[in-house]
Amino acid sequence: MAEHKEKFYLTTPIYYTNGLPHIGHTYTTVVADVIRRYKRMRGYDVVMTTGTDEHGVNVERAAKRAGVAESEYVAKMAETWRALWDELGISADEFVRTTDLQHVRTVQWLFKLCRENGYVYKGHYTGQYCIFDNAFVNDAKSGDNCPDCGRPTETITEENYFFKLSAFQKPLLDFYQKNPEFIQPETRRNEIIAFVEGGLRDLSITRTTIRWGIPVPGEEPHVFYVWFDALTAYLSAVGGPDYVKRGMWPADLHLVGKDIIRFHTVYWPAFLMAAMLPLPKQVWAHGWFLMDAAKMSKSKGNVVLPRPIANMLGMDALRYFLLREVVFGQDGNFSYDALVTRYNSDLANGLGNLSSRTAALIEKNFEGKIPQPRERKAQDDALAEETQTAIDGVLEHYEKMEFARALEAIWAVIGLADKYLTSEKPWAFGNSPEEQERKGTVLWTTAELLRIVCALAHPVLPQITGKIWTLLGQNGTVAEMALDGLRWGQLAPGAALGKAQTLFPRVDKTEAIERIEAMANEELNPTPTPAVVTPAAASAPTGGAAAVAPAGIAQIGIDDFVKVEMRVGQIKTAERIVGADKLLKLTVDIGTEVRQICAGIAQFYEADALVGRKVVVVTNLAPRKLRGVESNGMIVAASVGPEGRPVLAGFLEDVEVGARLK
């Protein structure tokens, strides 16, 4: 019989589609992914939901500006969000769009239940409304600004359906008292209790001034107001009216930013109480990532994008930084400087170096097989004990959402292993049987420590720990490790190591920041694609194939052709670019000068073999940045086969560098 697993259902907010994902949204989604992985390693059957909040006046306006129908606009935006989460390796198990039919049905059903139970009535409402936050601003007067975003409010009077929120003051307070874990962290809980104690006003849950929303059946032009619509997405993602069948509701955890805690801990439980549905178990509100001490927004020009960071340093590095740098629940400043510093110190020099050093020594001394530990010394036992104790500590920190402390505890163990290796010096031993035995014990000890570190760090660093797991010759995947059974001493001697690879190449801080910023700039203000496309342009930043000229391409006259200047160039240097698997950075002599050019050929040409080679260069192409590296010209290549493998154009006869092609 299949083992029964306890379920765990967690959610991120359903993000607005009138903006693009930045590091703040990435933070919540990464944390959700970390918890999902962690819970799976503790044996839970986990479902994680994210999605897009697609209704409301902002979308109506954005679609109008873009000159497209709302449905088309949101479909494209939802795809952008989904694709980014896929690319970053944090796609949820359920992606709910508030325009999905299942969601529409769920909202209408929830409304019906609330109405049947006597918690909905029709009335008129005049108030100050913030169209950016999609919320009426309580107690605001005409001319007041929104206290959340600071923008002017609008006076709105309309016929609405109201939800009797006022009836839930006592039930909510009782619920908070009986379920002290419901609102986290503690400070937020106190704020919310004080807010509810101050009295609750009924809430407008439909609007007639908006067209783009879920219709209230039989009551058109009423459409549901954003929060009644959006919050319900958590339920529609796991079955909606049929939630019992799926077995995931109630949610175990709603992860949100502090900006939307009130909606989740006051409105949402009240809606569910009114409908007599089970309430979520916990809402956890984290703080904000600030840039230059301000909340990120595109209008302020201070947004940080996740993709350039993931491209440059790897997604694991970004995940590590987000969780390590800030105490979960508090605000924190984002800084590229701190990000790259942590990357170099904790990842490249810390975990990366320990893994590569250990593997290289085992390779050299034990034919690439995990050695047999022999007689133990006090220092071996001490390290084993410290690591064993760390396991319990780290699990407890994860359980309490103390991610920074969990990572701190793991890195403390890595630090101990570094010190241990430095004092034991296994590389300094000779090859006598005793020395070989001692070497084996020391290296087994370090490898065992690494195995445990891998399992503990896996929720945060899924890719790298997977690589180290393979490097250590371990069976299966690290994700399958049961954290509950993790103990010192389980590393079997004799396992053959996997192939060595660079885990975290060290980067130069200034150059890395420049490149991340350049890539972000490119993403925010994309340069138009150049007229001539060669592998260099076509493969950056993500593609691999050279563009094939479309059939029926327009003919050009000789006047157009002569505008393209092509010359014979000779490659002087070639090197790989950290963080860009497909690109090579070349310097090319074109007769009059030596140019830096990036080419998307790294998967097909060895850098060293290119030096001295003569190639065709488009020399009058405007300079552009590829993955943040300046490229001043383009190398011409044929595009071969279905993958568009680039084959460099060249000459059978010797030609002079700088000669023009005509």
The footprint of ligand ME8 (CB under 6 A) covers 13-16, 24-25, 27-28, 53, 230-231, 233, 256-257, 259-260, 288-289, 295-296
CA-closest candidate to residue 237, choices 280, 273, 276: 280
Query: Helices 353-365 and 403-424: crossing angle, nearest 10°?
Result: 40
Residue type, 288: W
- Closer residue to ligand ME8, CB minimum distance, 17 or 639: 17
Strand partners, 586: 574, 597
Indicate the pairing of strand 45-53 with strand 94-97.
parallel
- As measured in angstroms, the least distance from the Cβ of 268 to ligand ME8 is 8
DSSP 47-89: EEEEEEE--SHHHHHHHHHHTS-HHHHHHHHHHHHHHHHHHTT
Q: What is the 3-state secondary structure (H, E, C) of 411-471?
A: HHHHHHHHHHHHHHCHHHCCCCHHHHHHHHHHHHHHHHHHHHHHHHHCCCCHHHHHHHHHH
Round to whole Å and give the CA distance between 435 and 124.
Answer: 87
> Whole-angstrom Cα distance, residue 447 to residue 470?
12
Environment class of residue 509 by beta-carbon count within 10 Å: exposed (0-12), middle (13-18) or buried (19+)? middle
Nearer to ligand ME8, 161 or 271 (CB): 271
Q: Is the preceding omega at residue 171 within 30 degrees of 0, hence cis?
A: no
**Shortest distance (Å) from residue 60 CB to ligand ME8:** 15
Helices of type H across 220-300: 226-231, 233-236, 243-246, 261-262, 268-274
**Residue 318 and residue 346 in contact, taking contact as beta carbons nearer than 8 Å:** no
- Phi then psi dihedrals of residue 354, to 5 deg: -60, -40
Taking the C-alpha atoms of residue 395 and residue 39, their distance in angstroms, rounded to an integer, is 11
Partners of 97 in the beta sheet? 52
Nearer to ligand ME8, 11 or 534 (CB): 11
Please, what is the minimum distance in Å from the beta carbon of residue 457 to ligand ME8? 23
How near is the Cβ of 17 to ligand ME8 at its closest, in Å?
Answer: 8
Nearer to ligand ME8, 226 or 536 (CB): 226
Q: Which residue is nearest to ligand ME8 (CB)?
A: 24
Backbone region of residue 239 per phi and psi (left: phi > 0; alpha: psi in -120 to 50; beta: other values): left
Q: Which is nearer to ligand ME8, 260 or 362 (CB)?
A: 260
Instruction: Say how far apart CA 643 and CA 96 lie, in whole Å.
Output: 34
For 380, residues 6+ apart whose C-beta sits below 8 A from its C-beta are 373, 441, 442, 445
Distance CA 320, CA 307 (A): 15
Per 3-state DSSP, the chain is made up of helix, strand and coil in percentages (nearest 5) of 45, 20, 35
Q: How far is the CB of 297 from ligand ME8 (least distance, A)?
A: 9
Smallest separation, CB 331 to ligand ME8 (Å): 8
Q: At its nearest, how many Å lie between ligand ME8 and the CB of residue 15?
A: 4
Question: 279, 273 in Cβ contact below 8 A?
Answer: yes
Strand, coil or helix: 263: helix
What are 84's strand-pairing partners?
A: none
Is residue 250 a contact partner of residue 183, using CB atoms and an 8 Å limit?
no
Cα–Cα distance between 531 and 545 in angstroms, integer?
17
Q: Shortest Cβ distance from residue 147 to ligand ME8 (Å)? A: 16
Nearest to ligand ME8 of 213, 633 (CB atom): 213
User: How near is the Cβ of 378 to ligand ME8 at its closest, in Å?
Assistant: 47
Phi and psi for 276 in degrees, rounded to 5? 60, 45
Report which of 623, 619, 640 is spatially closest to residue 535, judged by C-alpha positions.
Answer: 640
**Closest distance between ligand ME8 and the C-beta of residue 240, in Å?**
15
Place of tokens 């092609």: 661
